[in-house]
């Protein structure tokens, strides 16, 4: 059975979001995006009090890297809180007037693979096959078509971490995320991609650390206020900088949102200091509510700047 403070299977996650859509039909809509390489359904969870209004959209995705289990756990907790929170979404409430689009598991094939045995626990990539190679998988966060493969990637399909794929958007999973961005580009004002490693909140550019976008100060300010909100809730602060100054890596979803879809605020959020890829399950109930305060701050900021 699904539980918000546990690591759940893909199937249980589906049951959870279906349940939310059934229980809160006025607030939650599911959009079928397509299927993963191995045929798992991908559904976008849309949370909105007034879905037909021209609200700014916040798009959150998680779990493009199979082993980073805390990321989908956070996305599902976010769905949970946004739907049960009695005040946030009521008229005039802090989140009223902002639409949340959440894709809680971008790479379900990789995720299920990491759950299938202890020796697969550190799998990162998708589970596709390309050409004649006997090796599996593409790094979804090197596969986006903006400055594709110019830095921080491998061209070797057998590279376990950062194979960029045979071409941009070779993976159905990254195509679906791209489509969400492009179909909603005008209204999308914030994109957050959830990962886990250290505790970083990084913004474009990711493909280079040589320079920053001209709007970098706004990106930096919002990230710092989110980090402060998490700290006030008892959490650890985030290291805030551009992704490329941390380490350059091209073809990431954050750069694509910012550089190709024109989303003005775009981040990769790496959760849970000190635990790298495998965050202990028993600590979820401590940290997820702390991070949620950061998402509320994101929401408040977007509402203040773009809400009507």
Q: 21 or 194: whose CB is closer to ligand 0X9?
A: 194
Q: 89 or 291: whose CB is closer to ligand 0X9?
A: 291
272 lies in the site for ligand 0X9, by CB under 6 A: no
99 lies in the site for ligand 0X9, by CB under 6 A: no
CB-count burial class (<10 Å; 0-12, 13-18, 19+) for 166? middle
State the number of binding residues for ligand 0X9 (CB under 6 A). 14
What gap in Å lies between CA 305 and CA 308, rounded to an integer? 9
Stretch that binds ligand 0X9, among 6-14, 231-239, 246-254, 293-301 (CB under 6 A): 246-254
Structure tokens at 283: 């600590």
258 lies in the site for ligand 0X9, by CB under 6 A: no
Residues 37, 109: contact at Cβ < 8 Å? yes
Judge whether 270 counts as a catalytic residue: yes
Structure tokens at 26: 């006025």
255 lies in the site for ligand 0X9, by CB under 6 A: yes
Q: 49 or 128: whose CB is closer to ligand 0X9?
A: 128
Tell whether the torsion through CA atoms of 69, 71, 75 and 80 is positive or negative: positive
Structure tokens at 209: 């650390």
Quickly list H helices, 143-283: 172-183, 216-232, 243-246, 253-259
Q: 166 or 198: whose CB is closer to Zn ion?
A: 198
Q: Which of 43, 195, 301, 303 binds ligand 0X9 (CB under 6 A)?
A: 195
- Residue number with the smallest Cβ distance to ligand 0X9: 206
The least distance separating ligand 0X9 from the CB of residue 103, rounded to whole angstroms, comes to 16
**End-to-end alpha carbon distance in the chain:** 40
Q: Which of 268, 272, 292, 296 binds ligand 0X9 (CB under 6 A)?
A: 268
């Amino acid at each position: 059975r699904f539980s918000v403070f546990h690591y759940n299977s893909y199937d249980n996650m589906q049951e959870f979001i279906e349940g939310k859509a059934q229980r809160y039909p006025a607030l939650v809509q599911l959009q079928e995006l397509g299927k993963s390489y191995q045929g798992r359904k991908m559904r976008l969870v849309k949370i909105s009090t007034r879905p037909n209004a021209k609200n700014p959209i916040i798009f959150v995705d998680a779990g493009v890297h199979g082993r980073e289990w805390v990321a989908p756990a956070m996305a599902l907790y976010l769905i949970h809180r946004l739907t049960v929170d009695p005040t946030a979404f009521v008229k005039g409430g802090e989140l009223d007037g902002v639409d949340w689009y959440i894709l809680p598991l971008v790479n379900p094939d990789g995720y299920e693979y990491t759950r299938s045995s202890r020796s697969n626990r550190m799998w990162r990539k998708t589970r596709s096959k390309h050409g004649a190679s006997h090796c599996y998988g593409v790094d979804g966060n090197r596969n986006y078509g903006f400055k594709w493969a110019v830095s921080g990637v491998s061209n070797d399909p057998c590279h376990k971490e950062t194979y960029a794929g045979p071409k941009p958007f070779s993976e159905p999973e990254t195509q679906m995320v791209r489509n969400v961005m492009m179909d909603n580009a005008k209204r999308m004002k914030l994109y957050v991609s959830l990962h886990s490693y250290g505790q970083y909140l990084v913004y474009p550019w990711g493909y280079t650390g040589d320079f920053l976008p001209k709007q970098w100060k706004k990106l930096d300010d919002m990230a710092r206020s989110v980090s402060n909100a998490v700290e006030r809730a008892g959490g650890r602060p985030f290291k805030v900088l551009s992704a490329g100054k941390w380490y350059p890596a091209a073809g990431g979803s954050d750069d694509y949102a910012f550089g190709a879809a024109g989303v003005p605020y775009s981040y990769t959020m790496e959760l849970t200091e000190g635990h790298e890829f495998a965050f202990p399950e028993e600590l979820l109930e401590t940290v997820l509510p702390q991070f949620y305060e950061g998402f509320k701050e994101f929401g408040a900021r977007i509402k203040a700047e773009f809400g009507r």
